[in-house]
Chain A
Amino acid sequence: KAGVTQTPRYLIKTRGQQVTLSCSPISGHRSVSWYQQTPGQGLQFLFEYFSETQRNKGNFPGRFSGRQFSNSRSEMNVSTLELGDSALYLCASSGGTGGTGELFFGEGSRLTVL
């Protein structure tokens, strides 16, 4: 069974640009959540999608957005990039219909903003 796949693994952008990250969950998983990880702030929850609906949202500005497609694949977008957006962005999927259970993580997309 294939794991959670995140693309791209590494990318470099400049301030003001936008970026789109992709996450393919484990087959059959309908919940996808996104996290930002930085040395200073640790792991922070961005948002969670279940069956194409945003079910929960963390405390991030509106520049951070996401969506989920009918095949459960998810994308997150960051517009007007700032230096502080440099981070490892992790995606996790989970199965089941009732709430969040065990999370399965991808290896992350490392974004560097110059």
Chain B
Amino acid sequence: AQSVTQLDSHVSVSEGTPVLLRCNYSSSYSPSLFWYVQHPNKGLQLLLKYTSAATLVKGINGFEAEFKKSETSFHLTKPSAHMSDAAEYFCVVIHTGGFKTIFGAGTRLFVKA
């Protein structure tokens, strides 16, 4: 069975400090993993994706994530937070074989000035 667990419902950082949003997954198959961001009253925008190529994936707006199979993790990081990063972030597993898309519960990122 596939599942996605985002370990923090809320994360608060100061502007200019690093961001770490944690995601663990469970999948019987080699998954495709994604991070999406959602700003208030907007749809979801793709930040980055892992599809079994390089384990360190770079995305938009300075975000990156590392796929660690041994830890079944796909944590999202950014070296320096910006006020515009305040949003909700979703870790997503897509199992292409079964056409299933599984969303994490989301992590709301707060950025303090």
Chain B residues with CB under 8 A of A88 = 41
CA distance A45 to B45 in the complex (A): 17
Min CB–CB distance B90 → chain A (angstroms): 7
- The SS class assigned to the A binding surface is strand
Number of A-B contacts (CB under 8 A): 60
Question: Which one of A90, A100, A108 lies within 8 Å of B94 (CB-CB)?
Answer: A100
Residues facing B in A50-109 (CB within 8 A) are: 50, 55-56, 88, 90, 92, 98-108
Out of B34, B43, B99, name the residue touching A4 (CB < 8 Å): B43
- Number of B residues, CB within 8 Å of A: 23
Select the residue from A4, A33, A108 with max chain B CB neighbours within 10 A.
A108
- Is A101 in contact with B90, judged by CB distance below 8 angstroms? no
Contact string against A for B residues 78-113, beta-carbon threshold 8 Å, 1 for contact and 0 otherwise: 000000000000101011111111010110000000
CA distance A35 to B36 in the complex (A): 14
Task: Annotate A29-49 by CB proximity to B: 1 below 8 A, 0 otherwise.
Answer: 000010100000011010010
A56 and B99: CB pair below 8 A?
A: yes
A95 to chain B, nearest CB (A): 13
Picked from B96, B97, B98, B101, the residue with its CB within 8 Å of the CB of A103 is B101
Question: Known contacts being A43-B90, A108-B43, is A101 close to B32, with CB within 8 Å?
Answer: yes
Given A92-B44, A103-B36, 18 new contacts (CB under 8 A) = A4-B43, A43-B90, A43-B106, A45-B101, A45-B103, A48-B99, A48-B101, A88-B41, A99-B94, A99-B98, A100-B94, A101-B96, A103-B34, A103-B46, A103-B92, A103-B94, A104-B46, A105-B43
